[in-house]
């Protein structure tokens, strides 16, 4: 089965999913965006209002800012990234998804990772990083570092664009500047 067929099948399963409470409050499931053959798979936190309305991850203000940082780092969102979230449905009021919601949604995400088979996973923001690296991590201490997750897939944590929208400086050493440096390291890594 081709990647596209496999992912479409999985998306259909998600469309019918009512395993957790988010199934009853969503407008659309938010399955993925980007290229299933990409070398980079990015995992965000959860869909927000714009994503719930459109069914596409990272299309609101934070998403547009993420796209800008990606392009400014010399990468292409459309070609270089396959983008998804820790959960497929929007938590009401944009609250953080619960451990139970993440656990019930995990198999969908693991199947996406297995099917896409990326060279690198980008954990975008604290919720995503904690899901894979443990609750005790401090994102400011681990962003930009390399980790191995699952059976040895390389992963890097980056700061979340919603956080970066609240930090306006672009100066050397600022969170925005550091995130672009992290994305450039990821670009070098996939080009190796």
Q: Please give the Cα distance from 167 to 62 (Å, whole number).
A: 12
Q: Using the rule CB under 6 A, is 57 a contact of ligand URA?
A: yes
Q: Using the rule CB under 6 A, is 48 a contact of ligand URA?
A: yes
Q: Please give the Cα distance from 86 to 131 (Å, whole number).
A: 8
Q: Are strands 120-124 and 153-158 parallel, antiparallel or unpaired?
A: parallel
Site for ligand URA in 108-127 (CB under 6 A): 125
Q: At what angle do helices 175-191 and 61-72 cross, to 10 degrees?
A: 60
Q: Are strands 33-34 and 81-85 parallel, antiparallel or unpaired?
A: antiparallel
Q: Using the rule CB under 6 A, is 63 a contact of ligand URA?
A: yes
Task: Out of 32, 35, 67, 85, point to the residue binding ligand URA (CB under 6 A).
Answer: 85
Place of tokens 């938590």: 91
34 vs 125, beta carbon nearer ligand URA: 125
179 vs 188, beta carbon nearer ligand URA: 179
Q: Using the rule CB under 6 A, is 51 a contact of ligand URA?
A: yes
Which residues would be at the binding site for ligand URA (CB under 6 A)?
44-48, 51, 57-58, 60, 62-63, 85, 125
């Amino acid at each position: 089965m081709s990647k596209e067929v496999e992912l479409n099948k999985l998306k259909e399963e998600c469309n019918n999913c009512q395993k957790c409470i988010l199934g009853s409050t969503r407008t659309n499931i938010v399955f993925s965006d980007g290229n299933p053959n990409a070398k980079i798979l990015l995992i965000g936190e959860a869909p927000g209002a714009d994503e719930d309305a459109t069914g596409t991850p990272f299309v609101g203000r934070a998403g547009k800012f993420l796209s800008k940082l990606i392009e400014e780092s010399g990468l292409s969102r459309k070609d270089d990234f396959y983008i998804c979230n820790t959960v497929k449905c929007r938590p009401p009021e944009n609250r953080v998804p619960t451990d139970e919601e993440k656990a019930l949604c995990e198999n969908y995400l693991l199947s996406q990772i297995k099917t896409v088979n990326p060279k690198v996973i980008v954990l975008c923001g604290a919720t995503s990083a904690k899901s894979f690296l443990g609750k005790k991590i401090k994102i400011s201490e681990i962003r930009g570092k390399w980790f191995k997750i699952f059976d040895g897939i390389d992963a890097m944590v980056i700061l979340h664009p919603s956080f970066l929208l609240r930090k306006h400086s672009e100066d050397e050493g600022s969170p925005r500047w550091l995130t672009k440096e992290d994305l450039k390291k990821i670009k070098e890594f996939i080009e190796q």
